[in-house]
Structure 1
C-alpha cells in the first residue's frame, strides 16, 4: 500500500505548517494524523533498511555459518555460509549482515573445496562444517562423501573427511599427518568399528556416517558429533559423538551414541511420537552450549528428523549435562519441536531443518534450509534465518525457542540496523485482557501446541506502552494471533505522545485503522494463519514517551475473512489475540 495520503509529519517549522492537519485537542495537546507506510505492496517489496524476509534466494542446503574473527584475515567481520550445493565440490557464501549474501567462490574464482583426483570422496559431497582454530590459525572443514576405495564392500560408503585451509574461502586441501592423506577418511576403519561394536554388536561392515559437527566445550576439549548412517540391523540413522585429541585424531575410547531414532533416550523404550512411526532419521546435529544461572552448562543437541525431501522434515532438541550425554529429547509440550511446519499444517514453509546457530552481537540466530517449493518440497533448498532465545517452559526448564520459521517481515539483526526493538523497555498495561506480559516477552506465538502465550481480550481494550521518557522511534509492529478466529483484521487506533523542537509541550500523533496484510499471512487453502505476521507502521522518526493501541470489540470482518457460526451464519468477531509488539527505536 502506498504511503497514506495524509500530511507528512516532519520536524521543522515550515514542514509542520505544510504537513500537519490539526484535529481536536485532548488534554490541550494538538492531535495530528500521522503519515506512515504499512509495508503492504503490490510487488511485495519492503524497507530492507529495517526488515528482512526469508524469500529463499540463496540455494544452499545443510547450512553451516561461522563468523570470521581472525583480524589478520582479509575476510575479518564476514559471516561465511558453507553447505551442500554440488555433489562434487563445495562453494561458500559470505555476508556482512547475515541478510545479504554473495557467492565468495565466484568472486575468488575457485570453489572452497574441490577434491584432488586421489581423494577418497569422489561424489556425494555433503554438509561441510568449518571451525577456526586460534591455536594454529587454520580453518578445518569436516564433510562427508562416498568412499571410492570401499565400493567393493558397499556402494553406499559415505564417510567423514577432513580438509584444512589458511583462509575461510579456501582452497581447502586434504588434511595430512602421519596417518591421514587424501585417500583416507577421518576415522580409522578398524578402530572406529571396534569402538562402535561395543554399543552395536551387529554394526558393519562399514561405519558409514554423514553430517559432522565439530565444537569446543567450555573447558577447551574438542568434540565431533555426527550421524551414523544406517548403522546396524535397524537401518536407522542415529547421532553419535566422540572426543577429539586434535581435529585429526579421534579418541576412539569415547565414541558414544547420543540418540536412538524414534525414542526419547538411547537406553529408554518410551517412543517419541513427534518422530512418527515411519521415521528412520536423526541427522543434521548441532550442539548449543547454554551457561545456566548457577554457572553450570546445559548442552542442547539440536537435530533434524524425517526425510530431507519431505514437508515434515523438522528440528527437535534434546538436553544433557555433559557434551556426550546422556541426552533426553524433549516432549512437544516441553518445547521439543523448535522448527517445523506445525505437523504439516502450514502452506508457507516446507522442510525447515539441518541448521546451525550464530551469534550476531547480543542476538542469536538460527540458519536453516527450507524447500524452495514451499508446497511440494523436494531436494531444492535455500537458507533462511530467524531469531533464537533461551526461555523457560511450563516445567521450569530452560530450553531453546525459535521465532520461526517465518515468511514475514522481521526486524534486521540489531547489530546491522539503526533501530532495535525497545518495547521491552516500556511499562505495559491494558484496560482489559489477559497475559499482558506476553506482548513484550520477545517470543512469537507460532505453534498450536506451545507454552508460549498470547495476549487476549474479549472486550474493547487499550494497550499502553509507557517508556517513562522520550525515545526516538520510527516504526511499530503488532504481531497477530496464530489463531484465525482471534486474529485482528485491523488495529482500530494508535496514539503516540511525542515532542519536538517546534512542539515542546507535546502533541498526539495518531493512526486509524492500521491494516493487516491478510493476503500475505492467511493460508491459501484454509481458514488458517501463516503465523509470524504483523501489522506494520513505518514513519519519520518521532520522540515518543507513550504509545496507546486500541482494539474495539466486537468488530465486523471484511467479506473475504468473515467468521461463521456452526449454522453458517455470519457473526462478528468478539475476541482478539496478539502475539507480540515490536517498537523500532533507539
Structure 2
C-alpha cells in the first residue's frame, strides 16, 4: 500500500515538473516580428518611456472629453490604462460642449524631476466672440504617467490671441524649455503663389494657413518667456522645392487650407531637428517633413529630401494620411522609431498607430515606412509570444 502511494506521489511530482517545464520554455512559435498598423486607434500618437515601460497617449482612443493611455514593455503590444485626464478636474479650463466635443487633441507627456506633465490643446471656455475654433494649450501634472492629471492652472499656458494646437516640449541641454505649437488656419488667409493659382483655377477664393511657432517656457511651465518666434510656414513661391508636397491638399482640391503642424523637436550632434506634418490631417496627402537649425528657435531650413514619410498607395500600398509623429527609442536605446498615425484601406477613416524605424545620418533623416509587412521587433526586446 505504501509503495503504491509513493508511486502515485512520484508520478504526480513528475507530471507537475513536466508541466512547469513546458510552460516556462519558450514556445516553438515565438514571434520575432510585428506588423503595422498596431491595434491602437489613436490620432497624434506620443510615446513616453520611463522606468522600463512605454506609455502611449493620443487623440481619441476611447477617451471622453479627455485623454486615455496605453502601456507596453516592448512598444509593440499595448494594454489600455484607461482615461488619465478628465476635463472636469479641479483646475479644468476647457469647454467640453464646444465644437469637436471640446477638441481634446494631441496630448504629450514629459517626465521632469519625478513629475509627469501633460501638454495638450482644447477649446477654451473664455470665448466672448463665439469663435468656432478657440483652441489653446494647457498643461496638467500627475505623480504617475497614468495620472490622474490635474491642470496646473485654471487657464491655458498663455493666450496669443489666435487659436493654437499641437503642443510639443523640447528641453535643451542647458536646461531651458521650449514650447512649439501650431497657429491654426482659422481666419488666417495668406497670400502666396499657391493662393494665386487657386484663384486662377477657380478652386478657392483664398487659402488659409497654419504656421509653427516656438517660445521659451518658464521653468515651472506656468507661462512663456518673451514672444513666440515663427519657425515654419508653407512655401510662398511655387518654385520652392517644398511647395509641391506641402500644397497637395489645395492642388488636389481637398480643402482651401495649407497646414504646418504636429511638430516634434530633438537635438543630435549640435543640430536641432524639427519634424512637422503638412496637408489636411483627414486627407490622403498628410505627410511628414523636417527642417534643421543651429539654435532651438531657428532659423530652420527645410530638408531637400522632404517628405520623409507619405502615403504609399501610388506605389501599390494601402496606407494614406501618414502624419503627426513622435519619436521613440528601442528598449536598448540602439534603434530610433517614428511613431505616427495613418489610415489603411481596411481601417477606413479611423486613425491607427504605426511605428517604423528612422535614422539620422550626417544631418539627414530617413524613415523606413510606411510598412504593413512584418518588421523585426525593437532591439533589446524579448521575443513576443
TM-score for both structures, normalised by structure 2: 0.77
Instruction: Supply the distance in 2 between the matched residues of 1:119 and 1:154 (Cα, whole angstroms).
Output: 20
Deviations 1:486-529 (A, max 9, x none): xxxxxxxxxxxxxxxxxxxxxxxxxxxxxxxxxxxxxxxxxxxx
Q: What are the Cα deviations for residues 252-303 of structure 1, in whole angstroms up to 9, with x where unaligned?
A: 4241010112359xxx977622212625101110012111xxxxx1111101
Deviation at 1:348, TM superposition (A): 1.9
Q: Which has the larger radius of gyration?
A: 1
Q: Distance in 2 between matches of 1:128 and 1:149?
A: 21
Find the counterpart in structure 2 of residue 406 from structure 1.
371
Would you say how many aligned residue pairs link Structure 1 and Structure 2?
A: 320
Q: CA contact under 8 A between 2:170 and 2:265: conserved in structure 1?
A: yes
Q: How does 1:108-507 map to 2 (within 5 A)?
A: 111-116=83-88, 119-121=92-94, 122=96, 123-134=102-113, 137-150=114-127, 152-175=129-152, 181-182=153-154, 184-187=155-158, 189=159, 192=160, 206-230=161-185, 232-234=188-190, 235-263=208-236, 272-276=243-247, 278=250, 280-291=258-269, 297-331=270-304, 335-342=305-312, 344-360=314-330, 361=332, 362-371=334-343, 373-374=344-345, 377-378=348-349, 380-392=350-362, 398-417=363-382
Q: Structure 2: which 5+ runs fail to align?
A: 1-27, 97-101, 191-207, 251-256
Q: Is the 8 A contact 2:157 2:224 kept in 1?
A: no
The CA deviation at 1:417 is 3.8
Report SS of the residue matched to 2:380: helix
Q: How far off its partner does 1:185 sit? A: 0.9
Structure of higher RCO (CA pairs closer than 8 Å, 6+ residues apart): 2
Look up the SS of the partner of 2:65 in the other structure.
Answer: coil
Q: 1:48 to 1:55 in 2, by over 3 A?
A: farther
Structure 2 residue matching 1:356: 3-state secondary structure: strand
Match of 2:52 among 64, 77, 99: 77
- Is 1:211–1:226's contact at 8 Å kept on the other side of the alignment? yes
Q: 1:263 to 1:403 in 2, by over 3 A?
A: farther
Once the 2 structures are TM-superposed, how far is the Cα of residue 120 of structure 1 from its aligned partner?
A: 2.1
C-alpha displacement of 1:119: 2.4
Distance 1:274 1:341 in 2: 11
**Alpha-carbon deviations, 1:322-373, whole Å to 9, x = none?**
1111111122xxx2211111584443211111111012221111111111x4
Question: Residues of 1 paired with 2:308 and 2:297: CA distance?
Answer: 21
Q: How far is the alpha carbon of 1:405 from its aligned partner?
A: 1.0
Do the aligned partners of residues 220 and 346 (structure 1) sit closer, same or farther apart at CA in structure 2, a change above 3 Å counting? farther
Q: CA-atom RMSD, angstroms? A: 2.4
Q: How far 1:308 sits from its partner (Å)?
A: 1.1
Equivalents in 1 of 2:123, 2:298: separation in Å? 29
1:151 is displaced (CA, Å) by: 5.1
Unaligned runs of 5+ in 1: 1-45, 69-75, 106-110, 176-180, 193-205, 292-296, 393-397, 420-586
Indicate how the Cα distance of structure 1 residues 48 and 319 shifts in structure 2: closer, same or farther if over 3 A, else same: farther
Q: Distance in 2 between matches of 1:261 and 1:306?
A: 10
Distance in structure 1 (CA, Å) of the matches to 2:294 and 2:370? 28
